[in-house]
Amino acid sequence: LMLSGVTIEKPETVTIDLDVQVGMDTIIGPFARILGNTVIGEDCRIGACAILHDAVIGNGAEVFAFSMVSASKLGVNAHAGPFARLRMGAELGDEAHVGNFVELKNSRMGTKSKSMHLAYLGDSQLGSGVNIGAGTITCNYDGKKKHKTTIGDGAFVGSNSTLVAPIEV
């Protein structure tokens, strides 16, 4: 990978599986683990101690330090972390951002949507330009079944909101 234009900081500390694909001008930080069938685009940044497993990372995207992306996708110029967790079908649209201690599970955030602090978004569909306040959670499980939360384009959800699914904002 290094011979094909990928920068790996402290390569002796990084784990990269054989089937992984990484585009030119991408930088991989120390202690990163890139596993499975992960595909990373060009001009990306994978932070220190990040773990990617079966992830698809669009061109110009960044996975900040100590974040985990598993069976999920980041669009072009999307950002995740630090300390973010995307799992089981999470998807960030182009230029979408999730920040510190935000977890997505089976959720899609549209273009330029943001959730920057301390949120859990499970089984959710967020439109474009949505802002999710700190401490927001989607309550997607009623003890028997999972339900979906839908948040439309341009919505602003304030801090410490609890969205009990099924719900549409």
pLDDT of residue 141: 86
Please indicate whether residue 79 is annotated as part of the active site: no
Q: What is the pLDDT of residues 38-73, one digit of tens each?
A: 999 999 999 999 999 999 999 999 999 999 999 999
pTM: 0.95
In the set 53, 79, 97, 117, the catalytic residue is: 117
Q: pLDDT confidence of 76, banded at 50, 70, 90?
A: very high
Q: What's residue 73's pLDDT?
A: 98
- For residue range 120-167, what is the model confidence (pLDDT) as tens digits? 999 999 999 999 999 999 998 888 899 999 999 999 999 999 999 999
Please give, one letter per residue, the 3-state secondary structure of the chain.
Answer: CHHHCCEECCHHHCEECCCCEECCCCEECCCCEEECCCEECCCCEECCCCEEECCEECCCCEECCCCEEECCEECCCCEECCCCEEECCCEECCCCEEEECCEEECCEECCCCEEEECCEEECEEECCCCEECCCCEEECECCCCECCEEECCCCEECCCCEEECCEEC
